[in-house]
């Protein structure tokens, strides 16, 4: 009796200072539309769960990891063999990264196809594209840290790509590498990108992304919006949250099973002068870009094939970022053509990835 009154007193004391009653009230009243597309709305919070797992396991790995040319590979070997459950922490970090990126791709593809980016949610989409870039950059920088021969070659290629951009490209390559060539400096700075710059950048954009989603609410399916249909809604708390939690638990179970039974390996420490190992491939989410670079001719007209390929990728990224403005009449014929093109792109990316895997 007395304790509950104390607690209530403390809560009103806090509310007077923080004003969080308004936030809680908002969440208590928040509704989520329940349609046949609602399943895609569960992917966002699952990505967040994997991100939190990345933060926690990443902090533990950073306790032991040493980002120098001499010690990086050996320190990962120590995590895998000597630190209690270190192998499990690294395995979870590695698998959770894969799950996170996979879900980011599913999340984004569903929004792309369902056109949930349409007015007034353009900025939610744009912040989402920035989050995708951050996630891919996390994957790319993290891949180098074990410093084995595979990760070295992937980094040499990946950091050489900006060089093909006219005028500013060389500066970016040097900024990424910490010099003209991939060296120990590159490793140390990739660690700094991975654990300092990218987390700050991702969190900043994530705050905007989540704020916009709360402010604007979940989008309705296009056909429901046009026909002004009344859509069934369920309360965000507790109905929607509990459903989300079911998905989190299932995914957590799959993640832990995979992490325990299929921990990632560790190659020999990288030698800067060793030839690239045969049959090398980047992480699966870069395969279609990798295969594109491979089949691109050495010269296109007067430009090198590399420059053309990189300019294509850059242009594609920019179009993707501003996509909601391109698809400004989603219900019209133009909107349908753009959806068809989106499917075509998805098919291209899948086909090239599979081709690359089979090679």
Partner 1 sequence: MKLKASLFSRRQFLNGLLAGGLGSLAASLLYPLLKSAIPPYREPDEVRLPLADYKDLAPGQVKDFAWDIKPGFLKKKADGSLVAFVGVCTHLDCNVSYQAEQRKFFCACHEGWYDEEGRNIAGPPPAPLRRLTVVMEAEEIVIKKEAPA
For every residue of 255-269, DSSP letters joined together read HHHHHHHS-----PB
What residues does 235 pair with on adjacent strands?
Answer: 31
Nearer to partner 1 among residue 19 and residue 297 (C-beta): 297
Angle ∠(93,130,190) on CA atoms, nearest 5: 50
Stretch that binds partner 1, among 151-159, 204-212, 230-238, 318-326 (CB under 8 A): 151-159
Q: How many residues bind partner 1 (CB under 8 A)?
A: 35
Q: Interhelix angle for 184-192 vs 122-144, to 10°?
A: 140
| Rounded least distance, CB 267 to partner 1, Å | 14
Binders in 161-200 for partner 1, by CB under 8 A: 161, 171, 174-175, 178-183, 185
Binders in 56-95 for partner 1, by CB under 8 A: none
Give the contact letters, 95-134, x = binds to partner 1 (CB under 8 A), - = no. Answer: ----------------------------------------
Q: What six digits make up the tokens of 88?
A: 């499990």
Pairing label, strands 233-235, 299-300: unpaired
Nearer to partner 1 among residue 39 and residue 314 (C-beta): 314
**Residue 303: DSSP 8-state:** E
Residue 156 in the binding site for partner 1 (CB under 8 A): yes
> Measured between alpha carbons, how far is residue 123 from residues 47, 63, 115, 213, 291 in Å?
19, 37, 13, 10, 32
Give the contact letters, 264-303, x = binds to partner 1 (CB under 8 A), - = no. Answer: --------xxxxxxxxx---------x--xx-xxxx----
Cis peptide before 158 (omega within 30 of 0): no
d(CA 201, CA 217): 24
d(CA 354, CA 359): 9
| Rounded least distance, CB 297 to partner 1, Å | 7
- The tally of CA atoms less than 13 A away on the side-chain side of residue 13 is 6
Residue 28 in the binding site for partner 1 (CB under 8 A): no
**Tokens 């459950």 appear where?**
85
Pairing label, strands 299-300, 31-33: unpaired
Q: Choose, by CB under 8 A, the member of 43, 153, 219, 353 that binds partner 1.
A: 153
Nearer to partner 1 among residue 55 and residue 69 (C-beta): 69
Residue 358 in the binding site for partner 1 (CB under 8 A): no
| Rounded least distance, CB 141 to partner 1, Å | 15
By the criterion CB under 8 A, which residues form the site for partner 1?
153, 156-157, 159-161, 171, 174-175, 178-183, 185, 272-280, 290, 293-294, 296-299, 304-306
């Amino acid at each position: 009796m007395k304790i509950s009154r104390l607690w209530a007193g403390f809560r009103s004391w806090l509310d007077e200072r923080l004003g969080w009653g308004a936030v809680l009230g908002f969440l208590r009243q928040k509704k989520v539309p329940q349609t046949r597309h609602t399943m895609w709305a569960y992917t966002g919070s699952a990505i967040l769960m994997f991100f939190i797992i990345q933060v926690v396991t990443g902090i533990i790995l950073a306790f032991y990891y040493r980002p120098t040319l001499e010690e990086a590979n050996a320190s990962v070997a120590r995590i895998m063999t000597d630190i209690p459950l270190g192998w499990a922490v690294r395995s979870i970090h590695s698998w959770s990264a894969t799950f996170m990126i996979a879900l980011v791709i599913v999340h984004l593809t569903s929004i792309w196809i369902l056109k949930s980016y349409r007015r007034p949610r353009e900025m939610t989409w744009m912040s989402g594209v920035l989050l995708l870039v951050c996630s891919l950059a996390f994957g790319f920088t993290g891949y180098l840290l074990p410093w084995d021969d595979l990760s070295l070659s992937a980094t040499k290629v990946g950091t050489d790509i900006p060089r093909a951009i006219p005028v500013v490209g060389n500066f970016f390559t040097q900024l990424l590498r910490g010099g003209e060539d991939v060296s120990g400096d590159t490793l140390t700075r990739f660690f700094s990108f991975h654990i300092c710059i990218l987390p700050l950048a991702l969190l900043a954009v994530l705050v905007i992304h989540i704020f916009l989603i709360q402010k604007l609410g979940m989008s309705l399916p296009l056909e429901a919006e046009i026909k002004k249909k009344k859509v069934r809604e369920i309360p965000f708390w507790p109905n929607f949250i509990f459903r989300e939690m079911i998905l989190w638990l299932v995914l957590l179970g799959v993640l832990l099973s995979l992490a325990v039974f299929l921990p990632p390996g560790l190659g020999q420490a990288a030698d800067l002068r060793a030839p690239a190992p045969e049959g090398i491939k980047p992480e699966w989410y870069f395969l279609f870009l990798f295969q594109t670079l491979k089949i691109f001719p050495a010269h296109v007209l007067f430009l090198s094939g590399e420059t053309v390929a990189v300019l294509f990728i850059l242009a594609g990224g920019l179009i993707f970022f501003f996509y909601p403005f391109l698809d400004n009449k989603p219900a019209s014929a133009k909107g349908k053509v753009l959806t068809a093109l989106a499917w075509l792109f998805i098919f291209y990316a899948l086909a090239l990835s599979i081709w690359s895997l089979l090679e």
